[in-house]
Chains A and B, each alone.
Chain A
Amino acid sequence: MKSINYIYALLILFLFPASIFAQATVKGIILDENNEPAIGANVVITGTTKGTVTEFDGTYEINNVSEGEVSITASYVGYKNLTKTISVGATGTFSLDFTLGVDSEILEEVVVIGYGTQRRRELVGNVDKINSEDLQDQLGSTFETALQGKAPGIQITSGSGTAGSHSIIRIRGTSSVSAGGDPLFVIDGVPVSSDNYILGENGGQNNNPLSTLNPADIESVEVLKDASAAAIYGSRAANGVILITTKRGKSGKPTFNYTSRFGLARPTNIVDVLNAEDWLKVRQEAWENSGNVGRVPLPNGLSYDDIEGVDTDWIDKVIRTGFKQEHNLSMRAGNKWLAAYAGLTYSNNESYLIKNAFERVSGRVNFDITPTDNFKISLSSSVVRGTRNKTPQAWAGGLGWAQSTALPIYPVGKVDFPQDSPQFAYSGFYNLYGNPVAQVYLQRLQTREWRYLNNVQLSYSPTKDLTITAQGSYDFTNIGDYTYEDKIWTGSTPISKAGLFKIKNRNVFATGEYRIPMPENHNLKVLVGTEYQQYDRERVFVEDNRFAGQFFEVQEYREMLDSLDYFDDEGYKFFSLFTRINYSYKDKYFIQGVFRRDASSKFGSNNRWGNFPSIGLGYIISEEDFWPEESFVNYVKFKASWGLTGNSNIPWTEQFATFAFNNNPGTVNNGLNYNGDTQHQIKEANADLKWELVSTIDVGVDLGLWDDRVTTGITYYRKITNGALLREFLAASSGYDELQFYRNVGKIRNQGVEYEITTRNLVGKFSWTTSFNIAANRNIVLDVGNATPDALDGGFGDTRVIEGQPIGVNYIVQFSHVDPESGRPVYLDADGVETFEYNPATMRVAAGNIQPDFTGGIRNSFKYKNFDMSFLFYFSKGGTIYDDAAKRQLGVISEDWNYTYDVFDRWRQPGDIADLPRYATSMLEWGGSGNIWQNNHSLWLYDASFARLRNLQIGYNIKPKEGSAFRNIRLSLSGNNLLTITKYPGWDPEIARDRSQEQERNVGGTNITYLTPPQEMSFIFGASFDF
């Protein structure tokens, strides 16, 4: 009975004063540091939930305030909380105004962590956050390049200067060999589809699935680097997770932004190839070296009269100044029950390659509806159309051909036709297939992609401590890759080809988060959830010769495409259960435990479920009472974590025995059917297949000095991949069609140190901030099972995975020097003994390495009155570049390629000390492999170190006068890749080569070039209007 009385007394205490006796009202206005109204700020009576939100004019009113000393707290995103006390009488209106100060305290910054958010203070995992303003310094087709150099341990190798190209992102090194090494991308809680290989390597380039995400819509990007942060994504988190959060509405009256940006693009560098005179000189010398006399014969039956006066600079013919533009209109608005963001963007990015452009039209609306205080509906919806006009590159044409098979003695065209006509390009070619100018007229490649990303989130809080959230999403991509080849190009009939795909990626999850009531100073929060993902891909390929010269503009052709039957191309499912428990004591001791359990259709039948636990600890020692108040070290936090994450980025069919039936459309069939139908087995089943498991430990310390004038942090991590998926091989003589299979047998270690520091060197009227970050990763392959080096290859360029070496070493014969007597190359055999013999079967060694020793960035930002300026350097030190085309551009002097000017550094007579051997017309005379394409050795290996001025930006803000329609106008001028410092003699030391599958991307995606186009240098002018 006693306890009931007690409760009664409490009820009376809490309820009656408020509801019956109190009549007073407190009202006022809340202003920001510029004395502008703070719209939508929270105002509550301290220690209660009683409060309100400010109106458009920044005013608020709280009714029924009880008599006495009342303290009221105002809070506003990005500002410090402010509490004031006021004496309130029994009745009447009392005034209390607030002016809020900007919150520079990064500890209170809200960070998205997957199925929720945390304050930075609470973080025990390693999460880097990049805000929207930092993503705006480039005008490109894709957001990920803007992350480069801005956080340690996120190694981004930007894609080439081709419009819509994609970067290679490796978080804390490469932890996979055969399984995909890219991070998981999650947009507003939806793990999105991001398949780089969907269109293969058509035109020598991959598709970039991230190019249909509009950078202007992004509010923030969070990168989950360690296991403690990433384990919540379980079997897909081993390569890190990139969380993308789109902009949402804010309460307040509608605000608009209109931004236009214009830019120009050029290649960062041009490496000249020989002109006609020099080319003939080099050929003549090689010809005479072979014991011939007279003038060297010309290719394709040309006579010297034919080439009189011809000297074509093919590189100049395929390069232009690209024009870029982007126009973006966005709106944010909101009131008590509805907040909305809407954005509309048009952009067209021409690259420096002729005919090459990426156009994007994008629309997004995000609504947050709050019908009652404890119920919220969030709708997010975007539609993007990306159109990529492709200019073939590398081996497929364009700039690749311009520096290789298009010889300076070939004219572009003999007869003067209008520049834009096919006749212009075609007329008078001697070698049609080597002509990159003819190509862009006669072979058109275009990718059209529609992407719809929609999700609905319901969130309900029956009590203050419990929130239940459910989200359903549909990520749909419709992508078509179209090729049209003119009859001049094919030599017979014109051909229209299309590869059409539909990707349906559905995801639902539900979570419940409960803050368990605890004694004072203790804080315990539990999240439980379940998630289901279903991914289906359908495709159809079609080739048709009925649509001469018209392509898909023709209604009839499109109807034909629409009538095609798609068939299942890929499919997988994930089902997951997960939980996250956060405990903290006094806001200075933190423990986080995460456990996720994933089942997937991709795993073999013997391994259906995987478990992914993690635990993280945090300790803010500077909050202890014993920490001296006057110390210049104002903040110290220790963090440590351990966890397991998985990588299940493996082909969906791997676990099955598969068969080919020639009468079954879409299955493998070699084009010949012997006497009717044929069948055969492609490969055996693999029931043991599973995810690779990465075990990560992470320890670090974060420091704040001199009242956060300097913030810095250092982290050590060690990642061990166990059961790494390795693509092993059956011998060709096993007789299977598919010789490769995956086994969980490898072991890889990445360990490293990440350091970052931000110093606010000057504050006040003239401010100067420097941010610096650097990361050193050491990668080593500890175990490869039975795999031979050649089994684990990185495609062309001869990179391999070898036990005891980092992933992606160049496994090649060592070139020693050019023999001064004979001019022949001297190699080293496996024991380091000099020899003229060249035998890759026995002489190859690990001679280079695609992994840099360290990477990082340094950025300086200055502000004076309305001016601001910033520049960012990105650097990468160590590693080697293998130039896979050098064997042709500097090797045998054949009649079908052009050469770079370095070719003149050759041996000419006995006694010469030269870089390159004596000119020769065949491999036999040159001295190496019998096959000109296999002349791979360490002579073509270069130092990969570089530093580049990634971005330089100058801005001016015009603050309009009171009463103007505009709140702010900003003009800016920026340049990207203006300067590159490197010893590498090729086009560009930053190389992300397009590849045909994941292992090639992991092992030879970076630092291996084969005529890969360089990055672009761009100049951008922007004008932004806020109103």
Chain B
Amino acid sequence: MKKMNIRIIAMLFACLAFASCEDFLEVVPENASSIDVQLETAQDAREYLNGAYDALSFGSVLGGQYSLVSELMSDGVDGTGLDGDWFAHYTRSTDIFLGTTRSMMSDAYKAAGRANNVLDQLGSIEGLSEAERNTMEGEIKFIRSIVHFESVRFFGQPYGFTSDNSQLGVVVRTSQNTEVLNRSSVGAVYAQIISDLTDAINLLPESNDIYANAWAAKALLAKVYFQMNDFQNAYDLSNDVIMNGPFMFDASYSDKYGYGTSNEIIFGLISTQIDSDNANGGYRGYLRPDASTGVPGLFASTEYASLYATEPSDTRKTDWLVDLNGQSVIMKFAFDSVYTNPVLHLTELKLIRGESATETGNSPAGVADLNDIRERAGLIALSESLAGEPLIQQLRIERHKELYFENNRMHELKRQAVRGNPSLTIRNAPWDCAGMVCQLPDNELKGNPDMEPNPQGGCN
């Protein structure tokens, strides 16, 4: 102590005599720096992008809540015993104070922010070849497209809700800074997504390790067009991926819900088991019957279970639903500790292509895709003469069954309503009632007095 005090006194005198206090007074935390120092090399850029993919895999984003909320707000989950945030989603009465929507908003945009950080610095990063630079730019635009697409689907009324899509969407972020931005219209958000994905398709190579490649960008854009009911574009892109991509239709519908056994995955959040990473797929935790309480947090709804009533030979029913005291435990996903989260896969692309083909008058193509999926599930092939509305209904049933708990159902019902069923109801509520859209969370609103919240209510 004595020594220290002498040192301090000496420093003080130095400070007084030479006015060098500025340095002397610095106390810099270990993790303080500036972005141009921190994001300097190709390796740094890669690690930043890893950080962006990491954010996408969070339980609040693709790793969980998207899937949960989409089923809770539509018709996928048994509502008995729900409370807290889940109950608010289930009753379509979300307000600004929900933990689920806070993290859905903030964590998704972390992925966009981290990606945009790299984009802002891309010109000055050392040691990147032109090709590497293009690949990274493509990945960045792909990542932020996922963020914008999913956010606008949860927090805004669907594409087609108004004829000019002027209804409020979400904030569009194309650069990482503290600028205060307001919500863009849904139309503007989709325009940005299409522009970004079109760029990404051109910039990305066909193969890119575990990261997004050109096929992933095409598959996502197909999905976007399908959500917009733009069937020609949806067909062209999905057909391109299916015909020209390296992906193989799995022999079993369950192969992709595990670890490393599938050839279908076009873009997934992959567990490489480097550094004990694990793209966990957080939603599975709520479904597990082997949780510590011995009872899952969520059960399948009767609406979903009854899908299998007309054709009981469907092997998906016995593989994916197991009865526990009269409630259906959802066994669709493997409960292995290491898991790859399939975000875009061939089955979904076939469903997009099949329905888009049918919508554009190419029924035989629609039947072919439908039967591929049916036959894999142990069902008989339907007649090749099936066409039009009945075929579409069959494809939609398969979509409902196959994409259960894959962030499909609520968005799909809204798409169907826009497509031509304005009186459609989603579990007894109008598809376009205010509460069918998640209210913006307070963490999105509180920094900006001009940020407009969504209307609430009207669903009950």
User: Does chain A bind chain B?
Assistant: yes
- In contact, B457 and A673 (Cβ under 8 angstroms): no
- In contact, B47 and A732 (Cβ under 8 angstroms): no
> Which among A534, A733, A790, A839 is the interface contact of B456 at CB below 8 angstroms?
A839
B22 interface hit (Cβ, 8 Å): yes
Shortest Cβ gap from A192 to chain B (Å): 16
Could you give, for residues 626-664 of chain A, a 1 whenever the CB lies within 8 Å of some chain B CB and a 0 otherwise?
000000000000000000000000001100111111111
- In contact, A657 and B5 (Cβ under 8 angstroms): no
A837 interface hit (Cβ, 8 Å): yes
Per the bound structure, the CA–CA distance linking A567 and B31 in Å amounts to 12
- In contact, A786 and B85 (Cβ under 8 angstroms): no
Do A472 and B116 form a contact, CB below 8 Å, given A659-B31, A735-B110, A790-B445? no
Per the bound structure, the CA–CA distance linking A508 and B31 in Å amounts to 29
A730 interface hit (Cβ, 8 Å): yes
- In contact, B31 and A735 (Cβ under 8 angstroms): no
- In contact, B93 and A930 (Cβ under 8 angstroms): yes
Select the residue from A666, A682, A737 with max chain B CB neighbours within 10 A.
A737
Chain B, Cβ-Cβ closest to A730: B447
B105 interface hit (Cβ, 8 Å): yes
Do A658 and B29 form a contact, CB below 8 Å, given A672-B280, A685-B34, A786-B449? yes
- In contact, B48 and A572 (Cβ under 8 angstroms): no
| Interface pairs (13), CB distance under 8 Å | A573-B27, A575-B21, A658-B31, A674-B53, A677-B275, A678-B48, A681-B117, A733-B112, A739-B443, A839-B457, A929-B97, A931-B84, A931-B98
- 6 smallest beta-carbon distances between A and B, as pairs: A735-B113, A930-B93, A930-B88, A729-B447, A656-B32, A674-B54
- In contact, A506 and B58 (Cβ under 8 angstroms): no
Could you give, for residues 918-937 of chain A, a 1 whenever the CB lies within 8 Å of some chain B CB and a 0 otherwise?
00001110000111111000
Per the bound structure, the CA–CA distance linking A666 and B51 in Å amounts to 17
> Which among B44, B53, B89, B178 is the interface contact of A684 at CB below 8 angstroms?
B178
Chain B residues within an 8 Å CB radius of A789 = 446
**Interface band, chain B:** 35 or more
> Which among B47, B85, B112, B443 is the interface contact of A931 at CB below 8 angstroms?
B85
- List CB contacts (< 8 Å) of B418-455 with chain A: 439, 441-449, 451, 453-454
Shortest Cβ gap from A958 to chain B (Å): 46
Per the bound structure, the CA–CA distance linking A837 and B456 in Å amounts to 10
Per the bound structure, the CA–CA distance linking A508 and B7 in Å amounts to 11
Per the bound structure, the CA–CA distance linking A884 and B420 in Å amounts to 47
> Which among A568, A657, A929 is the interface contact of B88 at CB below 8 angstroms?
A929
Chain B residues within an 8 Å CB radius of A657 = 32-35
> Which among B16, B54, B171, B451 is the interface contact of A672 at CB below 8 angstroms?
B54
Given contacts A474-B1, A680-B48, 4 further A-B contacts (CB under 8 A): A492-B292, A659-B31, A672-B277, A681-B117
Per the bound structure, the CA–CA distance linking A659 and B113 in Å amounts to 13
Could you give, for residues 163-203 of chain B, a 1 whenever the CB lies within 8 Å of some chain A CB and a 0 otherwise?
00000001101001110110000000000000000000000
Could you give, for residues 930-962 of chain A, a 1 whenever the CB lies within 8 Å of some chain B CB and a 0 otherwise?
111110000000000000000000000000000
A491 interface hit (Cβ, 8 Å): yes
Per the bound structure, the CA–CA distance linking A664 and B51 in Å amounts to 14
- In contact, A680 and B117 (Cβ under 8 angstroms): yes
Chain A residues within an 8 Å CB radius of B210 = 675
- List CB contacts (< 8 Å) of B1-39 with chain A: 1, 4-5, 8-9, 12, 15-16, 21-22, 24-35, 38-39
Per the bound structure, the CA–CA distance linking A310 and B106 in Å amounts to 46
Chain B residues within an 8 Å CB radius of A667 = 30-31
- In contact, A729 and B176 (Cβ under 8 angstroms): no
- In contact, B116 and A735 (Cβ under 8 angstroms): yes
Chain B, Cβ-Cβ closest to A608: B22
- In contact, A652 and B50 (Cβ under 8 angstroms): no
- In contact, A676 and B275 (Cβ under 8 angstroms): yes
B334 interface hit (Cβ, 8 Å): no
Per the bound structure, the CA–CA distance linking A771 and B28 in Å amounts to 51
Chain A residues within an 8 Å CB radius of B243 = none
- List CB contacts (< 8 Å) of A993-1007 with chain B: none
Select the residue from A676, A681, A732 with max chain B CB neighbours within 10 A.
A732
Chain A residues within an 8 Å CB radius of B87 = 922-923, 930-932
Chain A residues within an 8 Å CB radius of B16 = 530
Chain B, Cβ-Cβ closest to A677: B47
> Which among A673, A791, A837 is the interface contact of B54 at CB below 8 angstroms?
A673
Per the bound structure, the CA–CA distance linking A142 and B58 in Å amounts to 44
Chain B residues within an 8 Å CB radius of A964 = none
Could you give, for residues 101-145 of chain B, a 1 whenever the CB lies within 8 Å of some chain A CB and a 0 otherwise?
010011001111110110000000000000000000000000000
B349 interface hit (Cβ, 8 Å): no
> Which among A672, A685, A729, A894 is the interface contact of B443 at CB below 8 angstroms?
A729
- In contact, B109 and A733 (Cβ under 8 angstroms): yes
Per the bound structure, the CA–CA distance linking A732 and B95 in Å amounts to 16
Shortest Cβ gap from B8 to chain A (Å): 6
B389 interface hit (Cβ, 8 Å): no
Per the bound structure, the CA–CA distance linking A888 and B111 in Å amounts to 37
B94 interface hit (Cβ, 8 Å): yes
Chain A residues within an 8 Å CB radius of B278 = 672
Chain A residues within an 8 Å CB radius of B442 = 790
- In contact, B95 and A931 (Cβ under 8 angstroms): yes
Chain B residues within an 8 Å CB radius of A663 = 275
B279 interface hit (Cβ, 8 Å): yes
> Which among A491, A670, A681 is the interface contact of B58 at CB below 8 angstroms?
A670
Chain B residues within an 8 Å CB radius of A674 = 50-51, 53-54, 57, 269, 277, 279
A700 interface hit (Cβ, 8 Å): no
> Which among B22, B439, B446 is the interface contact of A729 at CB below 8 angstroms?
B446
- In contact, A735 and B176 (Cβ under 8 angstroms): yes
Shortest Cβ gap from B172 to chain A (Å): 9
- In contact, B114 and A673 (Cβ under 8 angstroms): no
Select the residue from A667, A733, A789 with max chain B CB neighbours within 10 A.
A733
Chain A, Cβ-Cβ closest to B82: A922
Chain B residues within an 8 Å CB radius of A710 = none
> Which among B38, B181, B456 is the interface contact of A681 at CB below 8 angstroms?
B38
B290 interface hit (Cβ, 8 Å): no
- In contact, B35 and A676 (Cβ under 8 angstroms): no
B276 interface hit (Cβ, 8 Å): yes
A35 interface hit (Cβ, 8 Å): no
Chain B residues within an 8 Å CB radius of A791 = 446-447
- List CB contacts (< 8 Å) of A336-357 with chain B: none
- In contact, B97 and A840 (Cβ under 8 angstroms): yes
A679 interface hit (Cβ, 8 Å): yes
Chain B, Cβ-Cβ closest to A923: B87
Could you give, for residues 787-806 of chain A, a 1 whenever the CB lies within 8 Å of some chain B CB and a 0 otherwise?
11111000000000000000
Chain A residues within an 8 Å CB radius of B449 = 786, 788
- In contact, A672 and B176 (Cβ under 8 angstroms): no
- In contact, A731 and B447 (Cβ under 8 angstroms): yes
- In contact, A681 and B35 (Cβ under 8 angstroms): yes
Select the residue from B31, B170, B451 with max chain A CB neighbours within 10 A.
B31
- In contact, B97 and A934 (Cβ under 8 angstroms): yes
B270 interface hit (Cβ, 8 Å): yes
Chain B residues within an 8 Å CB radius of A924 = 91, 93, 460
A64 interface hit (Cβ, 8 Å): no
- In contact, B57 and A682 (Cβ under 8 angstroms): no
- List CB contacts (< 8 Å) of A571-618 with chain B: 571-573, 575, 599-601, 608
Could you give, for residues 497-539 of chain A, a 1 whenever the CB lies within 8 Å of some chain B CB and a 0 otherwise?
0000000001010000000000000000000001010100000
- In contact, B54 and A678 (Cβ under 8 angstroms): yes
Chain B residues within an 8 Å CB radius of A568 = 29-30
> Which among B53, B106, B445 is the interface contact of A675 at CB below 8 angstroms?
B53
Chain B, Cβ-Cβ closest to A660: B31
Select the residue from A662, A837, A894 with max chain B CB neighbours within 10 A.
A662
- In contact, B84 and A933 (Cβ under 8 angstroms): yes
Shortest Cβ gap from A40 to chain B (Å): 32
- List CB contacts (< 8 Å) of A784-828 with chain B: 786-791
- In contact, B110 and A737 (Cβ under 8 angstroms): yes
A734 interface hit (Cβ, 8 Å): yes
B387 interface hit (Cβ, 8 Å): no
Select the residue from A534, A600, A933 with max chain B CB neighbours within 10 A.
A933
Per the bound structure, the CA–CA distance linking A658 and B171 in Å amounts to 24
Chain A residues within an 8 Å CB radius of B309 = none
